[in-house]
A and B are shown apart, each in its own frame.
Chain A
């Protein structure tokens, strides 16, 4: 049943039906026609797919991003970014990489990151002559990293499914995240050098100082967010709401560049963007349920049966399987459907379970922006980017991310060095 289901789905996708219907309607149809399962299941999944508190980071970070963009916070921060890194080749794009990594590490939600950082950085990057496909590819790639960097619900689910220490997984994610981020920074630098994007004149001490002073309120945001989370005041998801409150305060009470009408537009705009994004997340959950119950996991198991215990073969096979699965499934579904089996195969080949978790996380992150069904490719649509631009833009960064993945897979120490300092028995 899976091949014909996939064919229908891709046909609807190409015909241009909205993505949420492309995912939900084939599930409904196949449930009704080929299974005894009542089609109302789709409705139940559409609801429960987004009735999750951690997903509330999506509306709040979108709203915070819009408030900052409209209320003057972004303009001031961008001025500072240009003053600080503008003269450096690729400086602005590197700023985007770092902001994306920060946002996604906090929210754990790459769609929220792509939209929030995208609203902030896309216009500035376009102005600085970066092409749209390059910019969006960069944002999607860097924004997908949240599940690798702690805190990460993906790692928590992986830990509970496999019995591996979550603390060790969090630490292992740091090394892998740094390597992945460094690969992005490097490519950005090379790209900018090649395209001659060594930005704006030279550095000016006076401009830097003035921009610093001007953007002080905006600069405080990462400190408030990180301080609040690591000081135990609020959870990462709640941090998104705190960011909204702070951005609203600065915008309305300090800068006063936005009137009530402007506020209304920002709220309405954020509500619609949230709807665009989350209705796709909701239907992806119906899609995952269908895949789970129609033997997807079994298919993978029989494919990998008898793979043996040669370390390199197993590494390649596991990464290939997760990479393909990641094009269709969200990271948490991958853990639940595939990991119990992959874990057995991997440990038999002597692969450290913490290392396996990091590899799968990086792999699932790559799946988030890999065509045809990577969620972030669709989410980019809410920034006025066409699917084709997003898909084209994603390609070079998929290769960058894959290069990082190969490094992370072949050099376990990247992930395991840090946790091995604290947790005994890791990487031995």
Chain B
């Protein structure tokens, strides 16, 4: 019996964990338990980047890892971080499940991974200690970002100061006022309790936080073709399930944040959102070379055609 250690970075009551359980169920049933899936939630084996390294030499076998974290291994993954690239979930799914997504997954192979499918954490929202309805509201404001030049550029385009702070220190930094704002999907805003120390949450949907479900390539290459096929399909099917649950749970998360009563939830109008989109647009051009200009163009064309088709 082979052990497949599966890492993810969220608690056990998340869509991600449900997806992992679904993956376990599918794989163990279809391989007649020749593979034993063991799930390590909550970064028990290390954070996403550390585990990705462990996967390169085969110490961990599978994980859904945020694409923003994988872009240090393969630059084309930054495509997904481009602000306002996807107008909604379905567009994101279509593009990522199509040719563009496949070419991104293929790029992971040189980094020692087998890219199987895309899962998600959801769209990122902006939280602040003041209401933000226009980019100019961010002028001179300090915003916490992860260590990512693209996300730093995104805030700097709006005149904010982007400050990378460790995820574990962000709550305190927001509480003491070292930074005024941060961006994350609703699931993380809830889990990390950022709403306790932020007065406003803007439903900005300004960026999509996708996760790439990857396998360790050195490990994957030792398996027979049938098992490989089972794993790839299970990653895809569990991913479809995970996305559906992610969208369902998000509505409940919003209610819980609202009920906590510490945060005003600000819905932005389409007009307001398009002002934000215009303000962040220069980031697309600035990072196109790094991501691959053709890929960016192809993704944008596909988004445009999906839009007009609707």
Within the complex, are A and B direct neighbours (CB within 8 Å)?
yes
CA–CA, A165 and B261, complex, Å? 13
Contact A166 B171 (CB under 8 A): yes
**Interface 9-residue window, one of A175-183, A228-236, A392-400:** A228-236
Interface string of B147-170 (1 = CB under 8 A from A): 000000000000000000110110
CA–CA, A44 and B13, complex, Å? 29
Contact A160 B11 (CB under 8 A): yes
Contact B196 A153 (CB under 8 A): no
Interface string of B183-211 (1 = CB under 8 A from A): 00000000111001100000000000000
Partner of A163, one of B13, B58, B169, B177: B13
In this complex, what residue of B is CB-closest to A35? B3
In this complex, what residue of B is CB-closest to A337? B44
With known contacts A40-B57, A44-B53, A167–B196 Cβ distance under 8 A: yes
With known contacts A38-B57, A293-B5, A167–B168 Cβ distance under 8 A: no
CA–CA, A161 and B45, complex, Å? 15
**Interface 9-residue window, one of A47-55, A59-67, A70-78:** A47-55
Contact A160 B193 (CB under 8 A): yes
Residues of B within 8 A of A159 (CB): 192-193
Min Cβ gap A37→B in Å is 5
CA–CA, A37 and B45, complex, Å? 13
A-B contact count (CB 8 A): 96
Partner of B54, one of A36, A44, A165: A44
Contact A229 B59 (CB under 8 A): no
**Interface 9-residue window, one of B35-43, B112-120, B302-310:** B35-43
In this complex, what residue of A is CB-closest to B180? A232
Min Cβ gap B132→A in Å is 18
Residues of B within 8 A of A317 (CB): none
CB under 8 Å from chain B, chain A span 314-341: 336-337, 340
B285 located at the interface, meaning its Cβ lies under 8 Å from any Cβ of chain A in the complex? no
Contact B191 A163 (CB under 8 A): yes
B172 located at the interface, meaning its Cβ lies under 8 Å from any Cβ of chain A in the complex? yes
Min Cβ gap B118→A in Å is 24
Min Cβ gap B173→A in Å is 5
Residues of B within 8 A of A162 (CB): 11
Contact B40 A292 (CB under 8 A): yes
Interface string of A139-171 (1 = CB under 8 A from B): 000000000000101001101111101110000
CA–CA, A229 and B58, complex, Å? 42
CA–CA, A234 and B59, complex, Å? 37
Contact A156 B168 (CB under 8 A): yes
Partner of A151, one of B50, B165, B172: B172
Residues of B within 8 A of A38 (CB): 57-59
Contact B54 A235 (CB under 8 A): no
Contact B168 A48 (CB under 8 A): no
In this complex, what residue of B is CB-closest to A344? B12
In this complex, what residue of B is CB-closest to A297? B44
B286 located at the interface, meaning its Cβ lies under 8 Å from any Cβ of chain A in the complex? no
Contact B171 A156 (CB under 8 A): yes
Residues of B within 8 A of A402 (CB): none
CA–CA, A235 and B192, complex, Å? 17
Contact B50 A48 (CB under 8 A): yes
Min Cβ gap A235→B in Å is 5
B75 located at the interface, meaning its Cβ lies under 8 Å from any Cβ of chain A in the complex? no
Partner of A289, one of B46, B166, B192, B196: B46
CA–CA, A381 and B166, complex, Å? 30
Min Cβ gap A231→B in Å is 8
Residues of A within 8 A of B275 (CB): none
Residues of B within 8 A of A40 (CB): 57, 59
CA–CA, A54 and B173, complex, Å? 12
Contact A234 B178 (CB under 8 A): yes
CB under 8 Å from chain B, chain A span 220-244: 229-237
A420 located at the interface, meaning its Cβ lies under 8 Å from any Cβ of chain B in the complex? no
A349 located at the interface, meaning its Cβ lies under 8 Å from any Cβ of chain B in the complex? no
A45 located at the interface, meaning its Cβ lies under 8 Å from any Cβ of chain B in the complex? yes
Contact A48 B46 (CB under 8 A): yes
In this complex, what residue of A is CB-closest to B163? A235
Contact A340 B165 (CB under 8 A): no
A230, A233, A293: which has the most chain B beta carbons within 10 Å?
Answer: A293
CA–CA, A234 and B173, complex, Å? 8
A10 located at the interface, meaning its Cβ lies under 8 Å from any Cβ of chain B in the complex? no
Min Cβ gap A304→B in Å is 17
Contact B11 A293 (CB under 8 A): no
Contact A163 B5 (CB under 8 A): no
B176 located at the interface, meaning its Cβ lies under 8 Å from any Cβ of chain A in the complex? yes
CA–CA, A336 and B12, complex, Å? 11
In this complex, what residue of A is CB-closest to B53? A44
Contact B57 A41 (CB under 8 A): yes
CB under 8 Å from chain B, chain A span 60-97: none
Partner of B169, one of A165, A235, A336: A235
CA–CA, A153 and B40, complex, Å? 20
Contact B168 A165 (CB under 8 A): no
Apart from A37-B58, A234-B178, A336-B43: 10 A-B pairs, beta carbons within 8 A:
A41-B57, A41-B59, A44-B54, A156-B168, A160-B191, A161-B42, A165-B193, A235-B172, A293-B45, A340-B41
Please, could you name 13 A-B residue pairs with CB atoms under 8 Å apart, sorted by A?
A: A41-B57, A44-B50, A44-B54, A153-B169, A160-B191, A166-B192, A167-B175, A232-B176, A235-B172, A235-B176, A289-B46, A293-B40, A336-B43
**Residues on A facing B (Cβ under 8 Å):** 36-38, 40-41, 44-45, 48, 52-54, 151, 153, 156-157, 159-163, 165-167, 229-237, 289, 292-293, 336-337, 340
